[in-house]
Amino acid sequence: AQTVTQSQPEMSVQEAETVTLSCTYDTSESDYYLFWYKQPPSRQMILVIRQEAYKQQNATENRFSVNFQKAAKSFSLKISDSQLGDAAMYFCALEGAQKLVFGQGTRLTINP
Amino acid sequence: SQTIHQWPATLVQPVGSPLSLECTVEGTSNPNLYWYRQAAGRGLQLLFYSIGIDQISSEVPQNLSASRPQDRQFILSSKKLLLSDSGFYLCAWSSVYNQPQHFGDGTRLSIL
Protein backbone atom coordinates (compact mmCIF):
# COMPACT_ATOMS: atom_id res chain seq x y z
CA ALA A 1 0.00 0.00 0.00
CA GLN A 2 1.09 3.55 -0.69
CA THR A 3 0.93 6.16 2.02
CA VAL A 4 1.65 9.88 2.26
CA THR A 5 2.12 11.67 5.56
CA GLN A 6 2.10 15.40 6.17
CA SER A 7 2.98 15.95 9.80
CA GLN A 8 2.21 19.67 9.91
CA PRO A 9 -1.56 20.33 9.98
CA GLU A 10 -0.92 24.10 10.02
CA MET A 11 1.95 26.42 9.22
CA SER A 12 2.29 30.17 9.14
CA VAL A 13 4.89 32.48 7.67
CA GLN A 14 5.48 36.18 7.36
CA GLU A 15 4.96 37.67 3.94
CA ALA A 16 8.22 37.66 1.91
CA GLU A 17 9.77 35.01 4.13
CA THR A 18 10.52 31.38 3.26
CA VAL A 19 8.58 28.37 4.52
CA THR A 20 9.08 24.64 4.13
CA LEU A 21 6.26 22.10 4.19
CA SER A 22 7.13 18.51 5.05
CA CYS A 23 5.99 15.29 3.42
CA THR A 24 7.06 11.69 3.80
CA TYR A 25 5.79 8.76 1.81
CA ASP A 26 5.99 5.03 1.47
CA THR A 27 5.65 2.89 -1.63
CA SER A 28 6.90 -0.40 -2.96
CA GLU A 29 6.83 0.88 -6.54
CA SER A 30 10.14 1.58 -8.24
CA ASP A 31 8.53 3.95 -10.72
CA TYR A 32 6.52 6.71 -9.13
CA TYR A 33 5.90 10.43 -9.22
CA LEU A 34 5.43 13.00 -6.49
CA PHE A 35 3.33 16.14 -6.59
CA TRP A 36 2.41 19.14 -4.53
CA TYR A 37 -1.09 20.51 -5.05
CA LYS A 38 -2.51 23.75 -3.69
CA GLN A 39 -6.15 24.16 -2.70
CA PRO A 40 -7.17 27.78 -2.05
CA PRO A 41 -10.49 28.68 -0.37
CA SER A 42 -12.21 28.25 -3.75
CA ARG A 43 -11.34 24.52 -3.29
CA GLN A 44 -9.93 24.18 -6.75
CA MET A 45 -6.97 21.77 -6.83
CA ILE A 46 -4.00 23.40 -8.52
CA LEU A 47 -0.79 21.61 -9.41
CA VAL A 48 2.21 23.38 -7.89
CA ILE A 49 5.15 21.16 -8.74
CA ARG A 50 5.99 17.64 -9.91
CA GLN A 51 8.98 15.36 -9.30
CA GLU A 52 9.87 12.17 -11.13
CA ALA A 53 11.34 9.66 -8.69
CA TYR A 54 14.02 8.58 -11.17
CA LYS A 55 15.41 12.12 -11.35
CA GLN A 56 17.94 13.15 -8.74
CA GLN A 57 17.66 16.84 -9.52
CA ASN A 58 15.12 18.66 -7.39
CA ALA A 59 12.25 20.24 -9.29
CA THR A 60 11.79 23.99 -9.19
CA GLU A 61 8.98 26.19 -10.39
CA ASN A 62 9.59 29.90 -9.87
CA ARG A 63 9.33 30.51 -6.10
CA PHE A 64 8.52 26.86 -5.40
CA SER A 65 11.13 24.15 -5.05
CA VAL A 66 11.32 20.70 -3.55
CA ASN A 67 13.87 18.81 -1.53
CA PHE A 68 13.53 15.22 -2.70
CA GLN A 69 15.36 12.69 -0.54
CA LYS A 70 14.59 9.33 -2.16
CA ALA A 71 16.37 7.13 0.38
CA ALA A 72 14.59 8.86 3.23
CA LYS A 73 11.31 8.93 1.27
CA SER A 74 10.97 12.60 1.96
CA PHE A 75 9.55 15.26 -0.35
CA SER A 76 9.36 18.74 1.17
CA LEU A 77 8.14 21.91 -0.52
CA LYS A 78 9.93 25.22 -0.07
CA ILE A 79 8.12 28.45 -0.84
CA SER A 80 10.38 31.46 -1.15
CA ASP A 81 9.30 35.09 -0.90
CA SER A 82 5.88 34.07 0.41
CA GLN A 83 2.95 36.05 -0.94
CA LEU A 84 -0.56 36.55 0.40
CA GLY A 85 -1.88 34.56 -2.55
CA ASP A 86 0.06 31.52 -1.38
CA ALA A 87 -2.36 31.05 1.51
CA ALA A 88 -4.07 27.70 0.95
CA MET A 89 -4.15 24.04 1.86
CA TYR A 90 -1.17 22.23 0.40
CA PHE A 91 -1.37 18.54 -0.39
CA CYS A 92 1.51 16.22 -1.07
CA ALA A 93 0.61 13.35 -3.40
CA LEU A 94 2.23 10.18 -4.66
CA GLU A 95 1.33 8.46 -7.90
CA GLY A 96 2.30 4.85 -8.38
CA ALA A 97 0.48 1.83 -9.79
CA GLN A 98 -1.93 4.21 -11.55
CA LYS A 99 -3.21 5.60 -8.28
CA LEU A 100 -2.75 9.03 -6.76
CA VAL A 101 -2.60 9.02 -2.97
CA PHE A 102 -2.85 12.28 -1.04
CA GLY A 103 -1.60 13.35 2.34
CA GLN A 104 -3.92 15.01 4.83
CA GLY A 105 -2.76 18.48 3.92
CA THR A 106 -1.07 21.46 5.54
CA ARG A 107 -2.94 24.72 5.96
CA LEU A 108 -0.57 27.58 5.18
CA THR A 109 -1.30 31.06 6.52
CA ILE A 110 0.59 34.11 5.30
CA ASN A 111 0.91 36.93 7.80
CA PRO A 112 1.13 40.40 6.26
CA SER B 1 -6.51 23.35 -24.72
CA GLN B 2 -8.09 20.82 -22.43
CA THR B 3 -10.85 21.72 -20.01
CA ILE B 4 -12.81 19.79 -17.45
CA HIS B 5 -16.38 20.60 -16.48
CA GLN B 6 -18.07 19.31 -13.39
CA TRP B 7 -21.63 19.99 -12.25
CA PRO B 8 -23.54 20.88 -10.28
CA ALA B 9 -21.34 23.05 -8.08
CA THR B 10 -23.58 22.65 -5.07
CA LEU B 11 -26.23 20.06 -4.28
CA VAL B 12 -28.49 19.52 -1.29
CA GLN B 13 -30.28 16.19 -1.23
CA PRO B 14 -32.43 14.32 1.30
CA VAL B 15 -31.35 10.99 2.71
CA GLY B 16 -32.51 8.16 0.49
CA SER B 17 -32.67 10.18 -2.70
CA PRO B 18 -30.67 9.31 -5.84
CA LEU B 19 -27.54 11.11 -7.01
CA SER B 20 -25.97 11.88 -10.34
CA LEU B 21 -22.84 14.02 -10.65
CA GLU B 22 -21.44 14.58 -14.10
CA CYS B 23 -17.97 15.34 -15.35
CA THR B 24 -16.86 15.94 -18.92
CA VAL B 25 -13.47 16.64 -20.44
CA GLU B 26 -12.87 18.58 -23.64
CA GLY B 27 -9.84 18.88 -25.86
CA THR B 28 -8.38 15.41 -25.38
CA SER B 29 -9.26 11.83 -26.19
CA ASN B 30 -9.14 8.66 -24.10
CA PRO B 31 -8.28 10.40 -20.85
CA ASN B 32 -7.88 8.63 -17.54
CA LEU B 33 -10.76 9.80 -15.35
CA TYR B 34 -11.07 9.90 -11.58
CA TRP B 35 -13.61 10.62 -8.86
CA TYR B 36 -12.42 11.74 -5.42
CA ARG B 37 -14.18 12.67 -2.22
CA GLN B 38 -12.83 15.17 0.27
CA ALA B 39 -14.27 15.26 3.77
CA ALA B 40 -14.09 18.61 5.57
CA GLY B 41 -10.50 19.47 6.48
CA ARG B 42 -9.17 16.21 5.08
CA GLY B 43 -7.23 14.97 2.10
CA LEU B 44 -8.70 13.47 -1.04
CA GLN B 45 -9.85 9.88 -1.15
CA LEU B 46 -9.91 8.13 -4.51
CA LEU B 47 -13.33 6.59 -5.17
CA PHE B 48 -13.17 5.41 -8.78
CA TYR B 49 -10.85 5.59 -11.73
CA SER B 50 -11.29 4.69 -15.37
CA ILE B 51 -8.73 4.13 -18.10
CA GLY B 52 -11.35 3.65 -20.81
CA ILE B 53 -15.02 3.15 -21.59
CA ASP B 54 -16.42 0.31 -19.49
CA GLN B 55 -13.13 0.06 -17.59
CA ILE B 56 -13.86 1.37 -14.12
CA SER B 57 -12.13 0.42 -10.90
CA SER B 58 -13.57 1.02 -7.47
CA GLU B 59 -11.21 1.83 -4.65
CA VAL B 60 -13.52 1.90 -1.68
CA PRO B 61 -16.62 -0.24 -1.06
CA GLN B 62 -19.47 2.17 -0.65
CA ASN B 63 -22.89 3.39 -1.59
CA LEU B 64 -21.69 4.96 -4.83
CA SER B 65 -21.10 3.78 -8.38
CA ALA B 66 -19.47 5.26 -11.45
CA SER B 67 -20.10 4.95 -15.15
CA ARG B 68 -18.39 6.13 -18.30
CA PRO B 69 -20.99 6.18 -21.07
CA GLN B 70 -18.72 8.12 -23.44
CA ASP B 71 -14.97 8.53 -23.78
CA ARG B 72 -14.86 11.90 -22.05
CA GLN B 73 -17.82 11.61 -19.70
CA PHE B 74 -17.67 10.26 -16.18
CA ILE B 75 -20.72 10.00 -13.93
CA LEU B 76 -20.91 9.37 -10.20
CA SER B 77 -24.21 7.93 -9.01
CA SER B 78 -26.07 6.58 -6.04
CA LYS B 79 -29.49 4.95 -5.80
CA LYS B 80 -30.01 5.98 -2.17
CA LEU B 81 -27.88 8.61 -0.49
CA LEU B 82 -26.70 8.24 3.10
CA LEU B 83 -25.76 10.99 5.53
CA SER B 84 -22.16 9.79 5.30
CA ASP B 85 -22.12 10.60 1.57
CA SER B 86 -21.87 14.31 2.36
CA GLY B 87 -18.66 15.90 1.21
CA PHE B 88 -16.82 17.64 -1.58
CA TYR B 89 -16.52 15.58 -4.75
CA LEU B 90 -13.84 16.22 -7.31
CA CYS B 91 -13.47 14.86 -10.80
CA ALA B 92 -10.05 14.76 -12.44
CA TRP B 93 -8.41 13.66 -15.64
CA SER B 94 -4.92 12.84 -16.84
CA SER B 95 -3.56 12.07 -20.27
CA VAL B 96 -1.60 8.99 -19.26
CA TYR B 97 -0.34 7.29 -16.18
CA ASN B 98 1.98 9.41 -14.06
CA GLN B 99 1.06 12.65 -15.75
CA PRO B 100 -0.39 15.35 -13.47
CA GLN B 101 -4.07 15.11 -12.83
CA HIS B 102 -6.21 18.14 -13.63
CA PHE B 103 -9.19 18.76 -11.42
CA GLY B 104 -12.67 20.13 -11.94
CA ASP B 105 -14.09 22.79 -9.65
CA GLY B 106 -15.84 20.23 -7.44
CA THR B 107 -19.35 19.59 -6.16
CA ARG B 108 -20.30 20.31 -2.58
CA LEU B 109 -22.86 17.68 -1.62
CA SER B 110 -24.93 18.10 1.53
CA ILE B 111 -27.27 15.35 2.69
CA LEU B 112 -30.16 16.35 4.95
Identify the weakest region by mean pLDDT among B89-93, B100-104, B106-110. Answer: B100-104
Where residue B95 falls among pLDDT bands split at 50, 70, 90? confident
Residues in chain A closer than 8 A to B41 (CB atoms): 105
* Confidence (pLDDT) at A1: 82
Q: What mean pLDDT is reported for chain B? A: 92
Please report the pLDDT score of residue A100 as a whole number.
87
Query: What percent of chain B has a predicted confidence (pLDDT) above 70?
Result: 97
* Chain A partners within 8 Å of B102 (Cβ): 47
pLDDT at A64: 98
Q: How far apart are CA B70 and CA A79, in angstroms?
A: 41
Which residue among B32, B46, B103 sits closest to A44, beta carbon to beta carbon? B103
List of chain A residues with pLDDT < 70: none
Distance CA A112, CA A88 (A): 15
Confidence of residue B97 (pLDDT cuts 50, 70, 90): low
Q: What is the pLDDT of residues B39-63, one digit of tens each?
A: 877 789 999 999 999 899 988 868 8
B90 CB neighbours in chain A (<8 A) are: 45
In angstroms, the separation between the Cα of residue B40 and the nearest Cα of chain A is: 11
Is residue A53 within 8 A of residue A109, CB to CB? The reply is no
* CA distances to A69, B44, B46, B63 from B83, in Å: 42, 18, 19, 11
Q: Does the distance separating the beta carbons of A99 and B43 come in below 8 Å? A: no
pLDDT recorded at residue A31: 87
Distance (Å) of CA A69 to CA A4, A107, B47: 14, 23, 30
CB B25, CB B3: distance < 8 Å: yes
Determine whether the interchain pair B42/A44 forms a contact, defined as Cβ–Cβ distance below 8 Å.
Answer: no
